[in-house]
Every structure is written in C-alpha cells, then in structure tokens.
C-alpha cells in the first residue's frame, strides 16, 4: 500500500532521514521503533509532507505522492495523530472532531459512526472545550479527529505518551481494534516494545535516521531491542 524508496528528509539544512526504504503492507500494523532522536517522528511527518524538504519517492497504492501537499495526502487517505495530540483547546470536542472531516473526499462533515462506540465519553461531552480534557481524553479526541477523515492509513506517534495508566490499556485496545476489526493500516511509532509485539505484524528499527533492521514482528529479538533501544 505505502512504499518509501530512498527517502531523505530535511529541516532547513539538517539532514534527518537518510535513504529510508520501507514497505508498509495494507491492512497491517507496522511498528517503528528506536531510541529518542533517531528520526521516528520525522518519518511520520515526511509521510504527511510536514518537513521542509524531501528527496526520494513515496508511493501510495501505485501513485507517487512525495511531491503532493499535505492536504492532498490527507485526502488520499493518510491520517496523522501527532505526538502531543495538538487538539485546539478553545474548540469543543465536536469542533475538534469535525476538523478531521475536511479531509474526507466526499466533503461530508460528520462524526464517524465508530466514535460513540470507541469513545463514549467524547459523545457525552461534545460541547466541552478540548483544552480541559485529560491527556488520555485528548488522545481519544485526536484519534476520533483522525477517523473523521475516513482514512485508509493512520499514523500514530507514541499514542500512550503522557497518558494516565488507567487509559493506556483502552487506547491500546482501540488501536488493535481499528486494525483487526475495521481494517485500517496502522503505522505506530512506539517505545513500548511489549505493546509493539502485541499490536504489530511488522517492525522497522531506526538508528540515526536510517532503517537498520526490519521484518515480521516475531523476528524482533531481545538482542535487537537491547542493541538499538537500550539507553
């Protein structure tokens, strides 16, 4: 579905991604692993067209999108849940969710049918300001906003970071369900190796802006984790 070929990505003069090649299979979860500062977030931003410059090719379902602006990538079916969530604090829950719907190809602006089932708290508090929500509730809101775009692929950047333990398991269960039951392709940047092993079908390990090892998740050994993730 999504293929990166010799992708280099830059912020101003800083060269962050180096000749990245990665296949992201349709309908599967691909976990992107590595220490902090190895380029994982930049990889997701590059997929969305949010870095200053990119070289190489990004192919989505046979179409080259590497030169397309962010809004066209979103309309092509890629949704992004960034690290820190980036909800708009003065907007209501309803307004935050409906922002995602601007990327829908059919132009409809509506709350996805899945949201009441996945996140009942959000539906019970649609007029509440996003800024007063807890970290976990804001993460639910960010995922709901991404789903409003009716994506084929969802990019999740450390979705459990800064979330209270009581909600972490709920978020993890939602991510697995979106893949297994809804069929969404998921690219998951994650530091929690145990969750990556539970959720993902494939993995890619990053080091200094490069993919240093990748494969099926059952090939992810403790030695690889120690070598590339231990501090």
pLDDT digits (tens, 9 = 90+) for 174-227: 999 999 999 999 999 999 999 999 999 999 999 999 999 999 999 999 999 999
Cα separation, 178 vs 27, in Å, equals: 10
Quick one: fold of 2-229? Rossmann fold (3.40.50)
Q: What is the pLDDT of residues 117-140, one digit of tens each?
A: 999 999 999 999 999 999 999 999
* 11 band by pLDDT with thresholds 50, 70 and 90: very high
How many residues are present in the chain? 231
Rg over alpha carbons for the chain, rounded to the nearest Å, is 17
- Would you say 119 and 151 are in contact if contact means Cβ atoms under 8 Å apart? no
Residue 230 pLDDT: 84
Spell out the domain ranges in the chain. 2-229
Confidence of residue 172 (pLDDT cuts 50, 70, 90): very high
pLDDT band at residue 6 under the 50/70/90 scheme = very high
The pLDDT value given to residue 49:
96
Concatenated DSSP letters for 43-59?
Answer: HHHHHHT-SSEEEEEEE
CA dihedral 32, 153, 86, 109 (to 10 degrees): -170
* Residue found by looking up tokens 């890619």 in the block: 204
Residue 112 to residues 13, 109, 117, 181: CA-CA distances in angstroms? 40, 9, 10, 15
pLDDT of residue 89: 96
- Give the pLDDT mean for 78-106: 94
């Amino acid at each position: 579905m999504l293929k990166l070929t010799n992708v280099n990505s830059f912020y101003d003069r800083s060269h962050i991604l180096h000749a990245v090649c990665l296949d992201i299979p349709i309908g599967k979860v691909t976990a992107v692993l590595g220490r902090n500062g190895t380029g994982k977030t930049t990889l997701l931003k590059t997929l969305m067209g949010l870095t200053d410059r990119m070289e190489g090719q990004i192919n989505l379902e046979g179409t080259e999108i590497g030169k397309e602006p962010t809004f066209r990538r979103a309309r092509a079916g890629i949704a992004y849940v960034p690290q820190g969530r980036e909800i708009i604090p003065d907007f209501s829950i309803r307004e935050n969710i409906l922002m995602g719907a601007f990327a829908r190809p059919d132009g409809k602006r509506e709350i996805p049918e899945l949201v009441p089932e996945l996140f009942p708290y959000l539906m019970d508090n649609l007029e509440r300001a996003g800024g007063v929500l807890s970290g976990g509730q804001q993460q639910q809101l960010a995922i709901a906003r991404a789903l409003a775009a009716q994506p084929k692929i969802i990019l999740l950047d450390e979705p459990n970071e800064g979330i209270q333990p009581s909600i972490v398991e709920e978020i993890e269960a939602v991510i697995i369900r979106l893949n297994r039951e809804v069929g969404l392709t998921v690219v998951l940047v994650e530091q929690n190796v145990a969750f990556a092993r539970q959720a993902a079908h494939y993995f890619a390990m990053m080091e200094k802006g490069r993919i240093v090892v990748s494969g099926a998740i059952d090939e992810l050994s403790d030695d690889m984790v120690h070598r590339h993730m231990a501090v």
